Amino acid sequence: MKLHARTSRRRFLARTVGAAGALALSGCDALSRTEWFPSVLGAGEKLSQAAHHLLTPRQAMAQEFSAADLSPTFRSNGTAMPNDMRYKALAAAGFADYRLEVSGLVEQPASLSLAELRALPSRTQITRHDCVEGWSAIGKWKGARLGALLEALRPRREARYVMFYCADPMEDDGTSPYYESIDMNDAFHPQTLLAYELNDKPLPIANGAPVRLRVERQLGYKHAKYVMRIELVQSFDKIAGGKGGYWEDQGYEWYAGI
């Protein structure tokens, strides 16, 4: 009798805990679908960014690796071949007609060919690429130092962000081109490159040919591939979804250092 009372009490307890857990979980899912709660959670991003900037000097260098650490093949993620007629034509001609436009809040807008880009001060680095999904790959990059290029074009004082507009449409119908943005501090970081070589070869199309951004110390989606146009702006509120990047517009953090 006593034993029966105890087992039924245990069963009651287990059921109560189970029901409370299920209720709490569906509560979390309901909260995720509200407008306000995810923006409350977004406070975590602001805190992380502030703490990271407090702890690490803005010019702190990302770890560099040795040739022994190189990944046998550098994984291609996201777009492997942009579904865009203009891009396909450029690629078919070996990017001979490629021009990188630099405009916006600069004293001297520019349009650079690949050869001109290659003639700029460059840097070679073996770094680790960390995808937001969780995987990492190590590759050797060579590219023009973005800071040196911008310095030559003289950014205006109001310029706060560097926008990167890309050739790869993210929708099947050829719309929503990929884009990204970084702040001026990251743009002038010595390891921030407009990379045109991967593992001592011209950058493959699957990895963003002819030029992709390397902004070490941030997650992979910041490293825009197929960069066609660079624009210096004061704010990105009015650009596309207003969050500063394609994935940012889908709810990912603009600050991708974590």
DSSP 253: -
Considering only the stretches 93-101, 131-139, 163-171, 196-204, report the one whose residues sit in contact with other proteins under the rule CB under 8 A: 131-139
Token reading at 210: 């002819």
Q: CA torsion 212→218→219→221, rounded to 10°?
A: -40
For residues 67 and 140, is the Cβ–Cβ distance under 8 A? yes
DSSP-assigned letters across all residues of 156-191: -TT--EEEEEEEEESSTTS-SEEEEEEEHHHHTSTT
- Rank residues 133 and 237 by Cβ distance to other proteins and give the closer one: 133
Q: Calculate the CA 248 to chain-centre distance.
A: 9
Question: How many whole angstroms separate alpha carbon 99 and alpha carbon 162?
Answer: 18
Q: Which two tokens stand for residue 115?
A: 């050869």
Give the residue, chosen from 20, 23, 47, 96, that forms a contact with other proteins under the rule CB under 8 A: 47
Residues with Cβ within 8 Å of residue 209, at least 6 apart in sequence = 91, 95, 202, 203, 226
Minimal distance, residue 86 CB to other proteins, in Å? 30
28 binds other proteins (CB under 8 A): yes
Looking at 72-80, 88-96, 105-113, 237-245, which segment touches other proteins (CB under 8 A)? 72-80
Rule CB under 8 A: choose which of 138, 213, 224, 233 binds other proteins.
Answer: 138
Is position 206 an interface residue for other proteins (rule: CB under 8 A)? no
50 binds other proteins (CB under 8 A): no
Number of residues in contact with other proteins, rule: CB under 8 A?
A: 52
Dihedral pair phi/psi, residue 142, rounded to 5°: -130, 135
Residue 2 contacts other proteins per CB under 8 A: no
Q: x/- site string to other proteins, residues 91 to 130, per CB under 8 A?
A: -------------------------------------x-x
Give the binding range for other proteins (CB under 8 A) out of 64-72, 143-151, 161-169, 204-212.
64-72
Give the binding site for other proteins (CB under 8 A). 13, 22, 25-26, 28-29, 32, 38, 40-45, 47-48, 52, 55-56, 60-65, 69, 71-75, 128, 130-138, 216-219, 247, 250-253, 257-258
